[in-house]
């Protein structure tokens, strides 16, 4: 059976996710950042997480080279940040507050959860590559996260 690409995409959009911005610095010093909802936790001990980067992303080479990266889970007020980091060929870091970690990774000032990671494994994943990171630093101010469902930003309601 051959799947219709549009129908497959729509079906995958029925899995509700949060939204992250993943950042890193390339070997030649360029800061990169990419909006990603492929993020998932993997292991508690050791603390491992994953995300998948598209092979046609401008930031692909930088993430392949980077020994470190940071994952920022966005909060409910950050739709604009999600849009910014999902836009190609703009100076993303000129539009937003950030600082540099000791290892040079750009860290956004605002987030719901921030994870600093070392690149642990890279796996082939079709038109994406799966990056597994080991978390070595974490900050969790515990604010309401931004949701994403069926291609739209969504509010997370808990009971």
Ligand X SMILES: Cc1cc2nc3c(=O)[nH]c(=O)nc-3n(C[C@H](O)[C@H](O)[C@H](O)COP(=O)(O)O)c2cc1C
Applying CB under 6 A, the residues found at the interface with ligand X are 19, 34-38, 51-54, 57-59, 82, 85-88, 148
Instruction: State in angstroms the smallest separation of the CB of 93 from ligand X.
Output: 11
Which is nearer to ligand X, 19 or 113 (by Cβ)? 19
Which is nearer to ligand X, 45 or 89 (by Cβ)? 89
Instruction: State in angstroms the smallest separation of the CB of 59 from ligand X.
Output: 3
- The answer for residues whose C-beta is within 8 angstroms of residue 108's C-beta and 6 or more apart is 21, 23, 33, 70, 72, 81, 96, 97, 98, 114
Which is nearer to ligand X, 82 or 105 (by Cβ)? 82
Which is nearer to ligand X, 102 or 154 (by Cβ)? 154
Instruction: State in angstroms the smallest separation of the CB of 45 from ligand X.
Output: 25
Instruction: State in angstroms the smallest separation of the CB of 33 from ligand X.
Output: 7
């Amino acid at each position: 059976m051959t799947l219709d690409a549009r129908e497959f995409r729509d079906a995958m959009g029925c899995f509700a996710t949060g939204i992250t911005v993943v950042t890193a610095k390339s070997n030649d010093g360029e800061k990169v950042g990419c909006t990603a909802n492929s993020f998932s936790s993997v292991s508690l001990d050791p603390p491992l997480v994953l995300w998948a980067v598209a092979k046609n992303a401008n930031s692909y080479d930088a993430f392949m080279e980077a020994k470190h990266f940071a994952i920022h889970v966005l909060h409910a007020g950050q739709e604009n940040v999600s849009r910014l980091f999902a836009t190609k060929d703009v100076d993303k870091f000129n539009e937003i507050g950030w600082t540099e970690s000791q290892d040079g990774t750009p860290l956004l000032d605002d987030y719901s959860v921030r994870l600093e990671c070392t690149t642990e494994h890279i796996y082939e994943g079709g038109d994406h590559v799966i990056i597994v990171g080991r978390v070595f630093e974490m900050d969790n101010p515990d604010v309401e996260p931004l949701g994403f469902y069926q291609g739209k930003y969504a509010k997370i309601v808990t009971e």
